[in-house]
Amino acid sequence: MSCDLPRTVIHGYLDGELDAVRAADFERHLEQCPECVAQLDAQESLRSALHRAQLYEQAPALLRQSVLAALRPAQPIPISSRLRPAAAQWLAVAAVLLLLLYSAWRLLPGLTGNNNQTILAAQVVDAHLRSLQPGHLTDVLSTDQHTVKPWFDGKLDFAPPVRDFANDGFPLQGGRLDIVNGRTVAALVYARRKHLISVFVWPVPSTEKESSSPRTGSQQGYNWITWPEAGMEFYAVSDAAPSDLVQLQRLLSQ
Amino acid sequence: MGIKCPHGRLYSVSHSAQPKGQDVLNAQDAERFNLLVLPHLDSAFNLARWLVRNRTDAEDVAQESMLRAYRFFRGFHGGDARAWLLQIVRNTCFTWLEKNRPPEPTAEFDEEVHLANSITPEALAIAGNNRDRLSRALESLPPRFREVIVLRELEGCSYREIAVITSIPIGTVMSALSRARHQLQLALLSPAREEAAREL
């Protein structure tokens, strides 16, 4: 028996690039096509090998300096060197004020939401990657929500919701403490087929992000989704398909 | 998407290359460049490293790409700055490869029939546990296949972003990715063949 489905459909599914209807069609097809199941398994295996190997290479610090140095002569010549001393002093004062304004603007959350989002996503992906090192995945290893939830008591200043979704295809694997953005957060670990999903939870001031909808993205090949819920910020990260993360988000929000 | 990119000009890559007088951005544009483009230096270096397959050369190419991006920044009219930069990086890489390296294989190998049956998740998991082997297998792919794997799996780009960066239609991205992954599996499970590819 040979399957005549175009190979690109498997890849589109793997990459979360099929629309909901075609993805559902493909999942139905999977139920009766061992060939495609084997293909998908092989592709997932290759993908997780690529992610585990961490082949991403960051720019060396020297390159960064060298780029900055090469761009610097392109900036306008400092005005102060062309002006009389008195004017230069006033300009210096103005420059300091500008710098202060700029720092204040950078520190204000919200205005630079996009940038903060990228930094936060990078931290969360890093935390997820660290957890995949042997022995780091869970502090409390249990599929029983009534074991995991009390474990967090006294370790955190908030109570993260702990629920098992084994019946929906997301069995709880355990929990651990992690550090994101300099604060201790709860991390719940769920499995999705062969993938692991870390869900980071921490409390947010109630004024922030009251009714925003989930935001998604990807970083270094890992998908993430974040949403606020009941005064807490949720951040799920995994190499599973984005549609899986959306499904888990819905379960957690019920 | 409002992305414009210069093509085709040959550059002599050197550390002394600096933006010329007429390319100097005003303070506001320079600040925008620093905020929007400079943060993607890691992405630029990573793509260059996998395309030229050597860290030292990648540093030169990434630096040259940054300076090109700076020169042409006025042609950037908003949108995805990373995709815009990576488009410049990959064009700079291919120009560099043309000048500095013998042509690499662009076609697929024709041994698939013999190996297709040995592609199992288990075999891949075992071979994939060896970082060096995985890295060599990736480097053995033709550059056009290598770039889609790097953009998708390492850089996390969507098909749409890959289409923009590589200037190929989205349907072609899908089939290139499918063939590239298949070939990567073959290379991973057949080190001998992979060595042969490097000899070329």
The tokens for B6 are 């210069």
User: Which residues face A236 on adjacent strands?
Assistant: A199, A225
* Residue appearing with tokens 């057949």: B190
Compute the mean pLDDT over every residue in chain A, rounded to the nearest whole number: 82
Query: Are residue A40 and residue A15 in the same domain, yes or no?
Result: yes
The SS3 of residue B174 is helix
Residue % of chain A over a pLDDT of 70: 84
What domain count does chain A have?
3
- From the list B156, B194, B150, the residue with the least C-alpha distance to B48 is B150
Q: How far is CA B52 from CA B103, B110, B180, in A?
A: 12, 25, 17
CA atoms of B179 and A78, how far apart (whole Å)? 53
Does residue A2 surpass a pLDDT of 80? no
Of B66, B153, B182, the CB nearest to A67: B66
Query: Are residue A19 and residue A39 in the same domain, yes or no?
Result: yes
The reported pLDDT for the residue numbered A85 is 59
**Does the beta carbon of B196 lie under 8 angstroms from any beta carbon of chain A?**
no
Domain boundaries, chain B: 21-100, 112-199
Chain A residues with CB under 8 Å of B174 CB are 8, 11-12, 17
The reported pLDDT for the residue numbered B160 is 92
The reported pLDDT for the residue numbered B149 is 97
* Residue appearing with tokens 């392109």: A74
Q: How far is CA B17 from CA A47, B43, B57, B99, in A?
A: 39, 21, 15, 17
Q: Which domain holds residue A155?
A: 113-253
Q: How far is CA A7 from CA A4, A14, A18, B57, B141, in A?
A: 8, 11, 13, 36, 19
Question: Is B112-199 in CATH node 1.10.10.10?
Answer: yes
The SS3 of residue A192 is strand
The reported pLDDT for the residue numbered A174 is 87
**B21-100 and B112-199 have identical folds:** no
* Overall size of chain A counted in residues: 254
Give pLDDT tens digits for A210-232: 557 788 888 888 899 998 888 88
CA atoms of A64 and A69, how far apart (whole Å)? 9
Instruction: Please name the fold of domain B21-100.
Output: Rna Polymerase Sigma Factor; Chain: A (1.10.1740)
Query: Are residue A131 and residue A84 in the same domain, yes or no?
Result: no
Which of A243-252, B6-15, B86-95 is predicted with the least confidence, judged by mean pLDDT?
B6-15
CATH code, domain carrying A179: 3.30.200.100
Question: What are residue A44's phi and psi, to 5 degrees?
Answer: -65, -35
The reported pLDDT for the residue numbered B194 is 45
Q: Are B65 and B52 in contact (CB under 8 A)?
A: no
The reported pLDDT for the residue numbered B137 is 92
Predicted TM-score of the model (pTM): 0.56
Residue A129 belongs to a domain: yes
CA atoms of A27 and A218, how far apart (whole Å)? 23
Distance from CA of A70 to the nearest CA of B (A): 6
- Mutate which of A71, A124, A132 to disrupt the B interface (most B C-beta within 10 Å)? A71
The tokens for B21 are 């007088």
Query: Are residue A144 and residue A204 in the same domain, yes or no?
Result: yes
* Residue appearing with tokens 């001998």: B192
**Does the beta carbon of B78 lie under 8 angstroms from any beta carbon of chain A?**
no
Query: Are residue A101 and residue A226 in the same domain, yes or no?
Result: no
Query: Are residue A91 and residue A130 in the same domain, yes or no?
Result: no
Whether residue B59 and residue A62 make contact (CB cut-off 8 A), yes or no, is yes
Residue A174 belongs to a domain: yes
Residue A57 belongs to a domain: no
The reported pLDDT for the residue numbered B8 is 37
The reported pLDDT for the residue numbered B116 is 57
Whether residue B138 and residue A55 make contact (CB cut-off 8 A), yes or no, is yes
Pick the residue from chain A with its C-alpha nearest to B49.
A57
Query: Are residue A143 and residue A225 in the same domain, yes or no?
Result: yes
Of B62, B122, B128, the CB nearest to A59: B62
Query: Are residue A161 and residue A246 in the same domain, yes or no?
Result: yes
Chain A residues with CB under 8 Å of B47 CB are none
Q: How far is CA B126 from CA A191, A204, B25, B56, in A?
A: 21, 43, 51, 31
CA A214 to chain centroid:
12
Does residue B15 surpass a pLDDT of 90? no
Query: Are residue A204 and residue A96 in the same domain, yes or no?
Result: no
A165 exposure class (CB count in 10 Å sphere: 0-12, 13-18, 19+): middle
Domain end position, chosen among A72, A88, A109: A109
Query: Are residue A224 and residue A142 in the same domain, yes or no?
Result: yes
**Residue A250 CA neighbour count, 13 Å, CB half:** 7
The SS3 of residue A233 is strand
Q: Quick one: pLDDT band at residue B199, thresholds 50, 70, 90?
A: very low
Query: Are residue A214 and residue A133 in the same domain, yes or no?
Result: yes
Residue A72 belongs to a domain: no
Query: Are residue A36 and residue A48 in the same domain, yes or no?
Result: yes
The reported pLDDT for the residue numbered B7 is 41
Give pLDDT tens digits for A238-248: 988 888 898 99
Q: Quick one: pLDDT band at residue B84, thresholds 50, 70, 90?
A: very high
Long-range residue pairs from A145-152, CB within 8 A, at least 24 positions apart, any chain? A145/A172, A148/A172, A148/A174, A148/A175, A148/A188, A151/A175, A152/A186
Give pLDDT tens digits for A151-180: 888 788 888 889 999 888 899 988 888 888
Residue A69 belongs to a domain: no
- Mutate which of A15, A36, A56, A128 to disrupt the B interface (most B C-beta within 10 Å)? A56
Q: Quick one: pLDDT band at residue A28, thresholds 50, 70, 90?
A: very high
Give pLDDT tens digits for B135-192: 999 999 999 999 999 999 999 999 999 999 999 999 999 999 999 999 999 888 876 5
Whether residue A73 and residue B19 make contact (CB cut-off 8 A), yes or no, is yes
Angle at A248 between CA A124 and CA A238, to 5 degrees: 35
The reported pLDDT for the residue numbered B1 is 41
Q: Are B89 and B47 in contact (CB under 8 A)?
A: yes
Rg (CA), chain B: 18
